[in-house]
Structure 1
Amino acid sequence: MSKDSKLRQEHGNVLSFIPTGEYYFNKGVQAYDRRDIKKALKYMQRAAQLDPYDPVIACQLAIIYTYCEEYRKAIDIFRHILAKLDPGMVECHYFIANNYADLGLFDEALYNARKYLELDPFGEYREEAEELIYILNAEKEDETGSFSYEQDELMARQEEARQYLEAGHFEMALSELNKLIKKYPDFWSAYNNMALAYFYLGQTEKAVAVLMDLLEKNPGNLHALCNLAVFYYHKHDDEKLEQIVRGLEKVRPVLLDHQYKLGATFAIVGRYEEAYLWLNRLRKAGFDGDASFYYWLSQAAYHTGRQQAAEAAWEQLVELNPEKKGCEPWNREMEKKMNEKNVQFVLDRLNSAELPERFFGIFMIGLSSNRSDIVSHPDFKPLDDFTLAEKIYLAHVLESDIRERFDPDEVFVHGHNIACILHSHYGPMFPGYTNLMIAWFSIFLTGLKRGERFQNEAGFAAAFDYLWHRQKGDKVSQQAIAKEYRISVSTLRKYANRIKSLL
């Protein structure tokens, strides 16, 4: 080989390794996902220098400038994209609106948010743009430029309702959400939370009705569609579930929380391949997930034959929640004993000689996604063998129309809601879950005979939780339990005494 030809070959090899704009773009995205903003900005600036006509690179650079609070630089780039690079990239109007809002320029923010909705009325950021407009309108009503009272009230009520939901106080959450929607009828997240509250209370029909109302007012709301899929799954409405899922399969969300919502929804309804696609994508991007994220990632990996990935995700879950150790989806023995969906487990409770245990079995029917398998099972005892109290409670969990006629004072409703609160605090994987729930129904049945109405659901749930731990010898304080259930210590003591009188 001649010297010249060797030099030409070496020159060609060097050229093939010169990084391109795409190379630096990918490096920048990886750094951004790791929240290494300094490197992300450096890489993306270099990518934009090497490929100045790529609108995607320019958009990502502007997003990083927004993160760095360089709002004017971000706005200039977004405007350049719309004017020169890609006028069809209309989501830039939404990004511009956010930057103007951060600068306190509300008129410009409103203009661009509305422009985005005008150009893409069913776009990916529709819900976010509408909520931004709602908040900006409230902000503009305060002519002094200070944080408006209405926005303050909106956020405070939303946070209060969210805390009620997380604490399992579903009736109180519904009360707050009803007030919120009445005053702010276009605040869409309140509708989704209201639907969840009804669902957790076992009132699936009402939950579906709330979401249908929301989707009529705000078509394409991703959270509503995902929640609706879960509700149809639990209702065993396969036809409507399939219709929703087909639509969700076409969605390609950019926001991380939307990707998480979509992936978790697919996992819940048993579409594990789609679930793994989204949840694993988040994992690769360095998503800082909570315990639920790793739970569904492990489930999706396991059910798609990715055992190693499933075990790795479960290890992450156990680090965040040590009580999950031994409850792996591949641990069939634990699954059989503890999974609330297990038909035989529920049937065993229903056929128990003890009434509280049978009530717990009925409660599990209400939670189960296998209701039809349970009630049609040959071991499901004839309805004539159920006591009147069991029939009334069964009518409640199955949402029968006759329930109001036999429970006009809603005593069974309150008893069930208290069980739901306890379930939300512990769940079927809690080692003492079954005994705890049976003990609650024992208290409920005794109170039923003595005329107790169980109206303060949070008070009874907290008091029972406290007494349960004390009975086991656990060291718990009244202050800690009261704080967890968001009630006063005096209220906890009051209802603890009420429960003691039933023992």
Structure 2
Amino acid sequence: MKTRRPKVIPFSLDATFFFERAVQSLDRYHYDKALKYFRRAVEYEPDNPVNHCNMAGILSEMGRYEESNDVLRSVLDRIDPDMTECYYYLANNYANMELYEAAEDALVRYLENDAEGQFLEEADELLDLLHYELNRPTKLSTIKSKENLFDHDRARELLEAGRFSEAVRLLEDIIVRQPDFLAARNNLGLAYYYMGLFDKSVQTISEVLEAEPGNLHALCNLAIFYQHSNKAKQLARLMEVLRKTVPFHPEHVFKLATTLGIVGEHHAAYRHFRRLLRTGELTGEPSLHHFAAVAAANIGRYDEAQRFWQQAERLDPESEVPPFYLRKLERIRTGEETPPTHYHFHLPFDEQFRKWERSPEMVSEALKRDPLIRSSFFWALRHGDRRTKTQVIQALGLVADDEVIDALKAFLVDPGEDDEIKRVAVLVLRSIGLQDPLTVAFSGRTLTLEARRRTARLPVWDTAWQHVLEKAMEQMSGLYDVVQQHDMMTLWVDYLSRVYPQVPKLRNAEGWAAALEYWTAKMHRQTITYSDLVRRYGASQASISRYANRIDEACGIREKLKMSLNLSLFNEQG
């Protein structure tokens, strides 16, 4: 008789096993079970302070603040006195218990002992709350990281307003003064990214993670960078970490949830948004309900998406965003339209631009007045499709402040951007009167485009002018190098600037484009004939000649060419 082998599948019970069970319970909002599993994880690894902090976090979410504080004090007293973030958690618990003096003491203790400032941004917000509740400022004389907080707050405001180059300058100064200010370094990485300086942004975020491998803001920022640069392998490795992360603080939960949504992990994002809504700390934020609706729509929970958007509408009745998506929802239900994939509390860029297409003044005013719209334009400049980027560049030309000029210059040196769109950016920069040499990455080469002539500032850029330019670019492509094409664009802007506002009707775009090529060839001493232009452009010789004469009358090209030729002969003879 054969001995039967028991059909038992062995498995290992360890801290990781119970941690994963706790996370599963959290996802289902079974807090009692989650607490039980976190307690078991503590039993298996009693000297691991992270397990204790997870348990304290669950107790805090359940409203059992005193028990949570007992656990946190135990970590500081017995397990790891250097785990200074426990002081920050204690401060939050005391604030929730309305023990504001104790919260202040714990928060000051945290800031005095943690110069790296992992929770620096959140601590600053809590300081504002305590200032209000105690009706007096907190004594901050001994706080190591406080000296740069004001500048850091200013830099964050600049980032939110889309003024990225100003933010970069301020953040770089902060880091020179305080190299271990990780929150500032994190935001510097974001600012580099918004300006298109991808390598610098990754390097900066990597420096944060070298100092603090678990820094959630850095991990989330890096995930977004990888998503938008199509670095699938790096993103996949990073997502393994983020899926297992259970943040303690509501702002960190919000950061993780929005990041997961942006990278397409809508189920996970939805769970975290629901968790935030259940805790009640951010339920007054209309954007949170909008984000939850976006996540719900992407996983097919359309009834819940509708309720979230309706709540967002009640919280912010003046916003156009919730009504816009509620109107779209029926078409999303039937599959006629896809759910929104971006997690921003504003209208899609195309929808915004459609409203303003017939009124350039409205675009200019909106960009100057509304930081959120301005920021969305800069975002679209980096992540929109070809048509959207062209629209954005032309719209930004209406504002033409230093921030716009810096953004367009950064766009020109990005090797990943389309050459044709860069030509539009060059044109806009010249049309608004920028005379500096421009460094441009064209077709794998880095070139410096000198300004050939000064031009008056053009207050608008008309689509008819653009049409002429595109005709010329199309025919000159492959026959002229990028410097010569740049000179053609500069000539066109020069002519328009000189005759504005009496710009002639440009009904014959082909004839005007041929005239531009004619003078470009002459300026670069290339052989050109009217018969060749007639053949390629389909315009009559009389039209091309007439338009060439008009350009010459305004710009004096023949006279300049004569002077150039005489100077050349003099130099040769000398």
State the TM-score, normalized to the length of structure 1.
0.49
Q: Which has the larger radius of gyration?
A: 2
State the TM-score, normalized to the length of structure 2.
0.44
